Structure 1
Amino acid sequence: NWDAAQRVAEAHDPDSVADVLVGQARFAFEQREFQKAEAFLLRAQRPELAIKYYKEAGMWSEALRICKEYVPSRLEELQEECGREAAKKGSRGTEGLLEQAREWEQAGEHARAVDCYLKVRDPSNAVLMEKCLLKAAELAIKFLGQSQSVDVTRTVAPQLVAMKKYSAAAELYLSLDLIREAIDAFIEGEEWSKAKRVARELDPQSEEYVDQRYKEYLKNQGKVDSLVGIDIVAALDLYVQQEQWEKCLEVAAQQNYKVLHKYVALYATHLIREGSWDKALSLYVHHGVPANPQNFNIYRRLFVEMVNAPGMNCAEAYSSWADLRDVLFRLCENLVKSSEANTPAHEDFETMLLVAHYCATRSAAQGVKQLDTVAAKLSIALLRHTELLPADKAFYEAGTAAKQVGQQKMPNPSAPPRLLSQAIDEGNLDSLDHSDFQNTDIPFEVPLPAKQHVPEEKREEVRDWVLTMSMDQRLGQVLPRDERDTYEASLVAASTGARSLPCVLTGYPVLRNKIEFKRPGREANKDTWNKFQMAVKTSHSPACQDVLKFLSQWCGGLPSTSFSFQ
């Protein structure tokens, strides 16, 4: 009867009261009445026994609490002992760590509790891991200093991100005003609206950062349609990377002319590299032809590709030649109104336009029997532009055209293809005899084609025909002359050097009986003009009608007697 024993001790032997209290405490501990036992020992002023009994019961948090409050001098020693015991528990795995962490927490040893929670590793139990990490962070923020809280948060949050708990990580960062880290956590979780809101409300300077990261994300994910509303140039560049050219141009066209033509040029360059110069040409047919110097190489390349292409000397090629002609015409019209007006580049493009017009008109004439002579004259007139055209191809086409309409009425520049073929094989012009073309405007110093443009079987035909001509005394090889005592296709008079204007339909010089157009420098031989008009009326050729339509634009209108092509 402990109560009776205590009364007797208090009445007759006060020195034994403490012993009675200790006895009561021991009995209470055995009965697991810990609070009552603790009270007895504290009344007996024996806190060290309370610590001992708590230790024996494995209640380290209670032992540390009593020690901290009543025997602080022993606290460090007890903490070390407790740490050793915790290590033993930790070796028992997750349960031991959790038990020890809770004990540290109950004992107010928050730093040690945080360490224990951070040591918990159980990949098979993501929920438990998340709880332990958040508990560690919570204790650090609530009980530890700012520096330690930040350190713990920087340890915990990345692990939460790795577990795809992006919002939890971000909220943790925000609780310590780590704004950029919170934004990055939201970004990592692709929670862009939250990242944007945090930046807007808490750190406006980070809005641009979020936008940039979002653009990069959309680009990396190929989500170009979403990118359009944020960064149009980045979206267009992504369309280019994905080779979604049609979509790129569709979106670019909604911007402005400059943006559109940046991507038209990129697409055209791509098509030319792919060998699809015809598709590249159609881009400028549909989208216009800006007089941008950075585009000049594209325009030149389109011209070069087309004049070098096989199968273009025929009626069926009219639409292609007309497209090139119209593109170059628009370009030259734009150049006149630009800072590039009258520059060497402008002059080059005017010459290319003239060549394209001759080729287009030749194709149109080839589709109408009455205009065979016009087509042949155009092939011959093109010889004065062999600095731009492959010479072997130009001479072959001119000679073939002359032969087809009757070589006795037309000049026969057919030997040059044979000699040019030899020169191409040899890689120099030394073997060429230019004596037949002296005192003409057919250039001699022309670029030597890098490859043969005339097939071998065609070159053999030329050799045989030239041999036949040389054996036939009736077929003289002297070029026909006109009233100027000059080769009839030459614009420059041999004796005076006077230059005549070329006929807009044949390229031959206009000497007498001319038709003059409103635009200076545009004339036609009247006989040829009337013949062409009559052919259009009788054949109703759409190509020839289109030639007249072009001439109306190029020459500033047609004579009042002209056939209406509308």
Structure 2
Amino acid sequence: MANLLHAFPPSLGQNYKILHKYVALYATHLIREGGYSQALALYVQHGAPANPQNFNIYKRIFSDMVSSPGTNSAEAYHNWADLRDVLFNLCENLVKSSEANSLAHEEFETMLLIAHYYATRSAAQSVKQLETVAARLSVSLLRHTQLLPADKAFYEAGIAAKAVGWENMAFIFLNRFLDLTDAIEEGTLDALDHSDFQDTDIPFEVPLPAKQHVPEAQREEVRDWVLTVSMDQRLEQVLPRDERGVYEASLVAASTGVRALPCLITGYPILRNKIEFKRPGKAANKDNWNKFLMAIKTSHSPVCQDVLKFISQWCGGLPSTSFSFQ
């Protein structure tokens, strides 16, 4: 079937429809064989049309990728960037289709945002001075655990927080991770205690992960660390708060219901020093933005430059305050 795809010229019209019928058939076959990345490569090559009959294929590629091991690294950048770019192409096509502003369209926009966070995290992991940016992105992804395996997300956020010295956060997230691993064994989330996450935008109602996403050896390491910290009793078991009196990564202030925009670089709420982009709802915190630009200037990181190029496409250009890169 792969050979068949080469038989079609990339012209539009009827050929394009027939081509995409074969692309969808081949992608479905690849996904069944566990080859979500080859299926993704097909849509990188041929584009992602807004056909409702393709929606399950796109969702499956997304869920397979966010569940797969080995993606929390600088090396995973190009895989995440491919997912991000395909979802961006799909969302641009959805805007021009009869599905514009439908529930499916909204869900794909959220998936695009998530893929952008993962891609930006991998890019940040390749530059030492962006370590806290990468950690913040792992923390921001927790608000999307309705679409991500919750055990994996809490593990990654906890380990990242621990690495940069945010011990309170690390303890709470890794404790939650251990509760989730127990819940997976028991087959139910009913025993979960949500008190640590009151007044945050981290959802309580998330799907039970179908399997353990973190190997036993790493789970044991976390268990030992959490136990040691508990016995020390030196940590206050509360998430850090900001000037709103709210958990610092929460977009919504529980007391007022006011919703802040997430920063394009970290996913954290923008409370001041906002840089706005042409596309409505897209903004960055000035300090984070300048930090990212500075890291590119000093490291010349091609992947960080690619993130910037994507933000420019997605958000209708870069703000005039940006440095220019020749």
Q: Per the shorter chain, which TM-score range?
A: over 0.9
Distance in structure 1 (CA, Å) of the matches to 2:170 and 2:264: 20
Letter in 1 for 2:229: M
Distance in structure 2 (CA, Å) of the matches to 1:392 and 1:432: 13
- 1:288, distance to aligned residue in structure 2 (A): 0.8
Match of residue 269 from structure 1: 28
Are residues 1:418 and 2:174 paired?
Answer: no
Distance in structure 2 (CA, Å) of the matches to 1:494 and 1:509: 13
Mapped contact 1:422–1:431 kept (Cα < 8 A):
no
Deviations 1:299-344 (A, max 9, x none): 0000011001000000000000000000000100000000000000
Match of residue 333 from structure 1: 92
Q: After superposition, where does 1:75-86 map in structure 2 within 5 Å?
A: none
Q: How many percent of aligned residue pairs carry the same amino acid?
A: 76
SS in 2 for 1:447: coil
- 1:246, distance to aligned residue in structure 2 (A): 2.9
Q: After superposition, where does 1:38-77 map in structure 2 within 5 Å?
A: none
Deviations 1:396-449 (A, max 9, x none): 000000000112485541101110011000011122111000100000110001
Distance in structure 2 (CA, Å) of the matches to 1:565 and 1:366: 21
Q: After superposition, where does 1:111-190 map in structure 2 within 5 Å?
A: none
SS in 1 for 2:284: strand
Match of residue 508 from structure 1: 268
Distance in structure 1 (CA, Å) of the matches to 2:39 and 2:73: 21
Distance in structure 2 (CA, Å) of the matches to 1:491 and 1:350: 17
Match of residue 445 from structure 1: 205
Distance in structure 2 (CA, Å) of the matches to 1:246 and 1:253: 14
Please say which of residues 347-356 and 425-434 is displaced more in the overlay.
Answer: 425-434
Are residues 1:258 and 2:17 paired?
Answer: yes
Q: After superposition, where does 1:388-407 map in structure 2 within 5 Å?
A: 388-407=147-166
Mapped contact 2:240–2:247 kept (Cα < 8 A):
yes
Which of these residues, 132, 146, 162, is aligned with residue 387 of structure 1? 146
SS in 1 for 2:275: strand
* Higher Rg: 1
Unaligned residue ranges in structure 2 (runs of 5+) = none
Shift of the 376–392 alpha-carbon distance from structure 1 to 2, 3 Å rule, reads: same
Deviations 1:367-393 (A, max 9, x none): 000000000000000000000000000
Are residues 1:298 and 2:54 paired?
Answer: no
Match of residue 47 from structure 2: 288
Distance in structure 2 (CA, Å) of the matches to 1:322 and 1:396: 22
- 1:251, distance to aligned residue in structure 2 (A): 1.4
Mapped contact 1:379–1:401 kept (Cα < 8 A):
yes
Distance in structure 2 (CA, Å) of the matches to 1:471 and 1:328: 46
Which of these residues, 306, 317, 323, is aligned with residue 546 of structure 1? 306
Normalised to the residue count of structure 1, the TM-score between the two structures is 0.56
Match of residue 114 from structure 2: 355
More helix by share: 1
Letter in 1 for 2:175: A
Deviations 1:225-256 (A, max 9, x none): xxxxxxxxxxxxxxxxxxxx232011133662
Distance in structure 2 (CA, Å) of the matches to 1:282 and 1:392: 27
Mapped contact 2:41–2:82 kept (Cα < 8 A):
yes
SS in 1 for 2:8: helix
Unaligned residue ranges in structure 1 (runs of 5+) = 1-244
SS in 2 for 1:334: helix
Number of aligned residue pairs: 322
Which of these residues, 494, 504, 508, is aligned with residue 254 of structure 2? 494
Distance in structure 2 (CA, Å) of the matches to 1:409 and 1:358: 23
Please say which of residues 406-415 and 268-277 is displaced more in the overlay.
Answer: 406-415
Structure scoring higher RCO (CA < 8 A, sep ≥ 6) equals: 2
Mapped contact 1:548–1:565 kept (Cα < 8 A):
no
Are residues 1:484 and 2:244 paired?
Answer: yes
Letter in 1 for 2:186: E
Mapped contact 2:168–2:235 kept (Cα < 8 A):
no
Normalised to the residue count of structure 2, the TM-score between the two structures is 0.96
Match of residue 70 from structure 2: 311
SS in 2 for 1:414: helix
SS in 2 for 1:524: strand
